[in-house]
Amino acid sequence: MSAESDAARTVDLRRGVLEKNDDRAAALRSRFTAAGVRVSNWVSSPGSGKTALLEVLLGLAADRGVGVGVLVGDCATDNDARRLGAAGAPVRQIVTDGLCHLEADLLTQHVDGLESDGTPLESLDLLVIENVGNLVCPTAFDLGEDLRVALLSVTEGEDKPLKYPQTFAAADLVVLTKVDIAAAVDFDDAAARSAVAAVAPGRPVLSTSARTGEGVTDLIDALLASTRD
Amino acid sequence: MHEVSVAAAIVSTVREALPGRTVEAVEVVVGALSGVVPQALEFAWEVVTADTPLQGALLVVDWVPTTVYCPECEATVTPEVGFLCPRCGGLSGDLRTGRELEVRSVRVRDDQVVDV
């Protein structure tokens, strides 16, 4: 067709805003699948206990001979990588310089970095991506993971899934953390589970404690069993 | 504030699809479960488009609520809380809308284009 010169017209585009991120995530996903590594993307508010839970998970996984690598995202500092590295597992810090979430492009660089530092993906059974502590921003960004994990600590309030439905609706697995202090903070387990069910129907909910180790073996099993198909 | 990243992605999507055109307006569809806050996106849009060919282009946000299909009521409903049907209180995981995040259309002025 010929265009009307100097006239405004509306072009139908219908293109996903995050299509580029999705393309890179798809490339990562094929790479992960080819290497036989199960990848999970952990999302929660700051202070929900992701790192503490991971520390315990790394110890128990090592005892079972399960190889785990970690990519940990934070706005600043490599404190978490140093904490997690102490357990002996391959860990790489992703400093986002203030960016409130991880994107597939940035993750690709760090997966490359992990491999060039001597940890080929093939050598791992599990790769855990600890996203930036933020319950909103990471939601829309696919990282090529097999499993999206949303974590909720017992100190945060049982209705948090209702307040942040996007995040919990996008999760494949919900993990309750710090359950060893549930009684001390009057945590209502049934209310939390029904809040999860209201926004993420049918999703499994796992109770864990980094302090007692409760649920961590189940979590490892759930991560090992995860697939996208 | 990941809306800055989202705004930047909208700019690059539009510029790649329609290089060299004068853009008057960009229409985006934002679902309630997309994690994008329209007001934050509009603010980010101003910042991200400044000093680019899209400076001054209008951002039109079409907000799409979360809707689910309720098998009990045999209807598509808009939940007030989570995915609970506001009519019968039943729970439905059959999401119909809410995850959208899409550049729907772009209003351009074809100053120099003869054939497209």
Please indicate, yes or no, if residue B114 is contained in any of the structural domains: no
What residues in A contact B115, CB-CB < 8 Å?
A: 1-3
DSSP sequence for B24-66? EEEEEEEETTS---HHHHHHHHHHHHTTSTTTTPEEEEEEE--
CA dist., res. A51 & res. A80, Å (int) = 7
In the structure encoding, which two tokens stand for residue A169, read together?
Answer: 């609706």
- CATH number, domain of B28, equals 3.30.2320.80
Q: Please indicate if any CB of chain B lies within 8 Å of the CB of A60.
A: no
B51 assigned to some structural domain: yes
Between residues A5 and A168, which one has the greater pLDDT? A168
pLDDT attached to residue A65: 95
Query: What domain range includes position A60?
Result: 19-224
Q: How far apart are CA B31 and CA A113, in angstroms?
A: 35
Say which DSSP state B11 is in. H
A99 vs B contacts (CB less than 8 Å): 2, 5
Would residue A229 count as lying in a domain?
no
Q: Is A98 on the interface with B (CB under 8 A)?
A: no
A34-83 residue pLDDT tens:
999 999 999 999 999 999 999 999 999 999 999 999 999 988 888 999 99
> Is the CB of A75 inside 8 Å of chain B's CB atoms?
no
Considering only CB atoms, A198 lies closest to which of B5, B13, B82, namely: B82
- What's the ipTM? 0.82
Q: How many domains does chain A have?
A: 1
**Each residue's pLDDT tens digit, B79-92:** 998 889 999 999 88
Please report whether residue B115 resides in a domain: no
Q: How far apart are CA A121 and CA A69, in angstroms?
A: 9
CATH code at A189? 3.40.50.300
- pLDDT of A130-140, one tens digit each? 999 998 889 88
Tell me whether residue A8 is in a domain: no
B95 Cα to chain A: minimum distance (Å) = 10
pLDDT score for B110: 74
User: From the candidates A4, A11, A132, which should be mutated to test the interface with B, based on the most B CB atoms within 10 A?
Assistant: A11
Q: Is residue B113 part of a domain?
A: no
Q: Does A170 reside within a domain? A: yes
Confidence bin at A98 (pLDDT 50/70/90): confident
How far apart CA A25 and CA A16 sit, in angstroms, is 14
Which residue of B11, B33, B61 is the best one to mutate when testing the A interface, meaning the one whose CB has the most A CBs within 10 A?
A: B33
- Segment A178-205, tens digit of pLDDT: 999 999 999 999 999 999 999 999 999 9
* B116 inside domain: no
Has residue B115 got a pLDDT over 90?
A: no
Give domain status of residue A11, yes or no.
Answer: no
Average pLDDT over residues A142-155: 97
Contacts of A18 in chain B (CB under 8 A): 6, 9, 101
Half-sphere exposure of B5 (CA within 13 A, CB side): 24
Nearest C-alpha in B relative to A135: B35
pLDDT band with cut points at 50, 70 and 90 for residue A5:
very low
Count of domains for chain B? 1
What is the span of the domain harbouring residue B100? 3-108
Residue B101 scores a pLDDT above 60: yes
The distance of A18 to chain B (nearest Cα, Å) reads: 7
**A112-126 tens-digit pLDDT:** 999 999 999 999 999
